[in-house]
Structure 1
Amino acid sequence: MKALVLSGGAGTRLRPITHTSAKQLVPVANKAVLFYGLESIAEAGITDVGMIVGDTAEEIEEAVGDGARFGLKVTYIPQERPLGLAHAVLIARDYLGDDDFVMYLGDNFIVGGITGLVEEFRGNRPDAQILLTRVADPRAFGVAELDPSGQVIGLEEKPDQPKSDLALVGVYMFTPLIHEAVRAIEPSWRGELEITHAIQHLIDTRADVRSTVIKGYWKDTGNVGDMLEVNRTVLEAMERRIDGEVDDASETIGRVVLEEGARIVNSRVVGPVVIGSGTVVSNSYIGPFTSVAENCRITDSELEFSIVLRDSSIQGVGRIEASLIGRHVEVTPAPSVPSAHRLVLGDHSKVQITS
């Protein structure tokens, strides 16, 4: 059995972060979202991975390499532009051959991994197995309709009037029969080959399509709110570990992970928090559900429920919360100018100002 990992896409909902970084490499608890998926695939006993890459291919390849660090053998499959999940299957045909495979969306996060789900698929070997979870607003997802016995009878992609609250999770398992289905469908109104249409084709041709409703935690980390929520969930499961330096004027409370080479000076850190190597926190407060990556500087500031990427500095700005701060960012106080704001913002930024 192989894996097909989708790591293309523009990540428009995470702009401006994704103007300069692949969305799959934005870190959760100081580890790229993509890496959690690759680790889950390896834990499930799958070693051969085809990775779909697009405009951010160079960055993805630099981060993942040949996959050996994860116990995997990774083959990169370029996609000129994102034309749908079924299109990814179409262009991976030669790589996948006649093997069964799991398709994993690289920006999805599933607590507990996929080992049990893969074992269930291997044992029963239906033509397709989809994962479902109940969501509050299914209009943003592919949605499944089940009959009273739980059999999948229909799928819709981002419907205006969903027939259920069961959304497709970004992990699918297929036999080679899916290749016939992706060749049989036409592009949707979005101009994409939808995997929901391909699975619907299987259903219409009486193939064996099964579903599993997962009760564990799942998130599509496509926007800032979801990134912060996944970060919170991962941090809650971490154990306290202090490998860096904490001076006598500082205190660390609860589940704090301080990597080797990090320093806490005259500051208070309340977990769950992770602070990367080379980062210095001085005269500051770091509150719960915060990840600060390596080589950052936090000085005379307060930070809570936030993610700070590597090589950034926050100095003398009071309190920051519910924020995602990119790489090589400098956050400093603005000059005191009456009734004025000075802003330098990237495309598609969102700013809230209290006058």
Structure 2
Amino acid sequence: MPPLLQRKGILLAGGKGTRLHPLTLNTSKHLLPVGDRLMIHYPLATLIAAGIREILLISTPQHLPAFEQLLGDGGPLGAHLHYAAQPRPEGIAQAFAIAAQAGFLSDSEASVLALGDNLFHGGPELADTLANAAARADGATIFAHPVPNPSDYAVVEFSPEGHPLSLEEKPASPKSSYAVPGLYFYDHRARALAATLKPSARGELEITDLNRRYLALGDLHVEKLPAGTTWRDLGTHANIHELHLWNSARQS
């Protein structure tokens, strides 16, 4: 296993959770039970498994106190948790501005950004893949996983040699079946590059645009998740139900 790079984690657990209404009318979707734990525990465990110990959890002003009450300082989990509010949901890449304003992330620090509604489950091969990404000092590392509905996600197109050619956010005509999961490793340039982004047509600072910056620089690494890895976006009723079935089958 490669040596760990000192890297800070950002766990984004904001948003309105509209895809999960009415369950999220009075709570954060990331605090909903999924399987034998709460949704937020899955991406938090992924960060910790990747060797990340300093983690900033970002949520809405309304829901942030509940996360603080649930997770505290992170000590029992083997981490050191910090908290910051996202006043308005203005895109995933907004997390870097919030982390900077909170004094959590400087221009000299590498980071990893995890979405609070993504689950990763796998064996030693997945652990090695995450460790390699965490140890890579230069550029950005994102992941790719084949899905039957790529139009619902950011999609990466590969060359015949396996190099990334393009990234598209929820394309009507996907150039591949490979979706980009919500886990992104960045070098120290992410904060400054994110500050140059302009809102997209839907008024958000898109994480895909930040990844395109790295692609244009020739510094984007895309790792296909190992065979046997389970990845789920838990932001819909159907996906949560599917995970309940998967979890029950795994424990039976």
Fraction of identical pairs, as percent: 32
CA contact (8 A) 1:53 1:77 kept: yes
Structure 1 partner of 2:64: 57
CA contact (8 A) 1:178 1:199 kept: no
Name which of 216, 220, 224 aligns with 1:209: 220
CA contact (8 A) 2:151 2:174 kept: yes
- 3-state SS of the aligned residue for 1:5? strand
Name the count of aligned residue pairs.
238
TM-score, reference length from structure 2: 0.89
Name which of 11, 22, 38 aligns with 2:17: 11
1:207/1:181 CA distance change after superposition, 3 Å: farther
Name which of 32, 40, 50 aligns with 2:46: 40
> Are 2:154 and 1:147 equivalent residues in the alignment?
no
Structure 1 partner of 2:242: 229
Shift of 1:26: 1.1
Greater relative CO (CA pairs within 8 A, separation 6+): 2
AA matched with 2:104: Y
Output the CA distance in 2 between the equivalents of 1:138 and 1:197: 18
Which 5+ residue runs of structure 2 have no aligned equivalent?
A: 1-6
Output the CA distance in 2 between the equivalents of 1:122 and 1:46: 8
Structure 2 partner of 1:219: 232
CA contact (8 A) 1:129 1:209 kept: yes
CA contact (8 A) 2:51 2:131 kept: no
> Are 2:191 and 1:184 equivalent residues in the alignment?
no
- Mean alpha-carbon deviation: is it higher for 226-235 or for 167-176? 226-235
CA contact (8 A) 1:129 1:212 kept: yes
Name which of 150, 163, 175 aligns with 2:187: 175
- 3-state SS of the aligned residue for 1:237? helix
CA contact (8 A) 1:4 1:102 kept: yes
Name which of 208, 211, 218 aligns with 1:199: 211
Which 5+ residue runs of structure 1 have no aligned equivalent?
A: 239-254, 256-355
1:1-355 aligned at under 5 Å gives the runs 1-54=7-60, 55-93=62-100, 94-97=103-106, 98-112=108-122, 115-204=127-216, 206-214=217-225, 215=227, 216-238=229-251, 255=252
TM-score, reference length from structure 1: 0.64
Output the CA distance in 2 between the equivalents of 1:15 and 1:69: 32
Higher helix share: 2
RMSD of aligned C-alpha atoms? 1.6
Structure 2 partner of 1:335: none
Between structure 1 and structure 2, the one with the greater Rg is 1
Output the CA distance in 2 between the equivalents of 1:200 and 1:18: 32
CA contact (8 A) 1:128 1:210 kept: yes
Shift of 1:107: 0.8
Output the CA distance in 2 between the equivalents of 1:143 and 1:36: 23
Higher strand share: 1
